[in-house]
A = this chain, B = another copy of it.
């Protein structure tokens, strides 16, 4: 079975690694000659708009997927005329624009922070009137890892926010003083079967995911059920095939949808060692039309990202049960270079390992 992936970053790399034992070989299309996935997949080094590269990919593989959501929809649509593209390009379209994404959530009855489209400074002023402060001004498109966002705390920030971000379509969102950030990963097979992983508790700093705890500690089953209901609604509305991540805020026992990612997700990396079937394997199983694997957790897990620089590997491996995953990327401030997963039988056993690991990953 041959799978094409738009994007050859660490997600593409881990997809290809998961595919190898299953007899699934991957081809990645990525403009970077340093694409991390090239170590385990055939690399087509070209721009995402490159017609002949897209044609080469379509000719080679049986099915096509993507590992990041800013793939050009036109390219995905062109490929979809030649080969199955999962998740469908419609999922890309929805998630590439924060306005259409939040509108889509609302149409499905999934609660979100209040939001309003902003195109002018005047529009920003009136959106602030309606939403209140603090509020977050965001570009509607191409935001990731906290980029393209401005937190407006008071009225005086308003013009500065406009200077920084104005000129492209924007959205103003209510700032949520959440208790926790959570995410749910779900996977839908070609048969329509859906499986959900346990809720994950995430901690971001400077807009970048730093740590995930899975299953999210002290989580009532009602919360898990609600998150699964939301994920199912999205998967079914989009006739979605593959893994989807839905990021949520928890506040006063409620869940508010923040955003979705139509792909495998950083908050699911713990599933490699921590779940019966990893998100990467289940995504592949879904898109090639194979049965899904169990999504149960195998213990209490923590995943920490390695960001900016890599500590000495000997020090990381000294921590009993630390599973180290490096992506083969050169260090750069704020760049995700790898992650470490811990998986123990209980939270009590996990805490000392996590404390030791956090000292190495400041």
Instruction: Report A's interface with B, CB cutoff 8 A.
Output: 17, 20-23, 25, 39-40, 276-277, 285, 290-291, 293-294, 298-299, 313-314, 317-318, 320-326, 328
Q: Whole-angstrom distance between the alpha carbons of A40 and B13 in the complex?
A: 12
A188 to chain B, nearest CB (A): 16
Considering the complex, give the chain B residue whose CB is closest to the CB of A324: B22
Q: Whole-angstrom distance between the alpha carbons of A285 and B320 in the complex?
A: 13
A23 to chain B, nearest CB (A): 4
| Copies in the assembly, this chain | 2
Q: Whole-angstrom distance between the alpha carbons of A276 and B276 in the complex?
A: 14
Q: Whole-angstrom distance between the alpha carbons of A7 and B291 in the complex?
A: 34
Instruction: List 5 A-B residue pairs with CB atoms under 8 Å apart, sorted by A's residue number.
Output: A17-B17, A21-B323, A22-B313, A23-B326, A25-B39
Q: Whole-angstrom distance between the alpha carbons of A293 and B320 in the complex?
A: 6
- Residues on B with C-beta less than 8 A from A320 are 276, 293-294
Considering the complex, give the chain B residue whose CB is closest to the CB of A285: B317
- Residues on B with C-beta less than 8 A from A321 are 276-277, 293-294
Partner of A313, one of B25, B290, B314, B322: B290
- Residues on B with C-beta less than 8 A from A40 are 20, 40
Q: Whole-angstrom distance between the alpha carbons of A320 and B313 in the complex?
A: 34
- Residues on B with C-beta less than 8 A from A298 are 298-299
| A326 close to B39 (CB less than 8 A) | no
Q: Can you add 6 more A-B contacts, CB < 8 Å, to A20-B39, A23-B328, A285-B317? A: A21-B326, A22-B326, A23-B313, A25-B39, A291-B318, A294-B321
